[in-house]
Structure 1
Amino acid sequence: MKTKQLLLIDDDIEFTDLLIQYLSPQGYQIDVSHTGVCGLQKATNSKHYDLILLDVMLPQMDGFEVLKRLRLSHHTPVLMLTAKGDDFDKIFGLEMGADDYLPKPFNHRELSARIKAIVRRMDMLPSSSVHQTLTLDDVVMSPSNQSVICAGKALELTGTEFAILHLLMLNHGNLVSKNDLSEKVLGRKLLAFDRSIDMHVSNIRRKLVQHSQPEKIKTHRGAGYIYMVYK
């Protein structure tokens, strides 16, 4: 198995050393940056990273600004490390394109599970058993190269957003529960008050509606979502 390349951006040196000791034996090659500016430089250079672990509170440039600038040119999966109980950080990070979040302090086994879920999902996208192009109304999705065209315009989706939209389009006209989306895309059961799926769907809707009407993803409150086909 190919060694996975991770970038850890966090200013706590003792914390990053502990994570390296914990994650390296699991087959990860880990680069570390202790400032937002240095982290952004590493994240956008020619080296490919399979995942970025990004702390919110950073010197020189905070994690939100790093994520904002990263998303201008890169769709590398990002796991935000947020303050425990700070819902604003969680929601704001997801709105800006983070793939998932994990509140500090966290159990190292939970971190390992989140990393594995994101990396596994990204590995499955190009080699999905469903290779065929999906065309629904004016949306064309190509799983083989992870591209989405809406009304002739390319959509810039994160890996998580692509996986959610793919699942909804495959099941068009049928209700897909939030728990199914969470388990199949994020790799975990949906917890009470977890708005991760809601925020990712909101981001997808916003990107679709910029180019096409009517709204394609219908919400069934408390249940899930249906991808609507109008033709």
Structure 2
Amino acid sequence: MELEAWDLHNDPIRRFIIHCDDLGRSKFFPVSFLNDDDLEHKSSYCNDPDYLVSDHQSHELFIVAHYIIAGIDFQDGKLVFREDNLDHKFPDKTLTFDVFRLDFTNDDHVELQYLDGALRNRAFFIGSNTSFALSTTQFPKLRPNSIYFTDNQTSLYRYRKTLNCGGHDLGIYDYKDRCILSCCYPVDVDKIKRILPTPIWFPPDVDAQNIV
């Protein structure tokens, strides 16, 4: 998988290709893990889509790796292996995130710096539409060092009417403390409910003179 960034301020336009293999992980080996259990969870139970996130104010780009547990049993809360949930009979659930900053060292090279528990005074927003970052200094009601996320796996559950899920995986992830907080809806597995259409984020006008 590749991500592509365009610098529209240059003529001609500069294009940067970011290979996801450069994130320092392979299919079976994530870039970071807290302990052996965390490594097993990321490697054996998770899907890991990537997001390209723009900070409009600092003009920085980031890649957010989103680790989503492929399935959780409604009854006992046990994790389900990816290959045992190919028919999506169990709901998925966010486990954790890894964040990288893109450093453009020259015209054709990009270096990725892993951010270990430190997003500084930023809140990231990711989901099935535009991904972006906001300053928690400018928007003080946001939680600093956090990732606000919505469900991007809804299409897997859209036509499974017998399951009360899809669009359910949303919350606020504290990147420093590595924990998930609720955002409008409970994050507990036994309280999962279908939310269709999936909630999405709309970026504010950060250049506006008066922001409430």
Please confirm whether the aligned pair reaches a TM-score higher than 0.5, indicating the same fold: no
Identify the structure with the greater strand proportion: 2
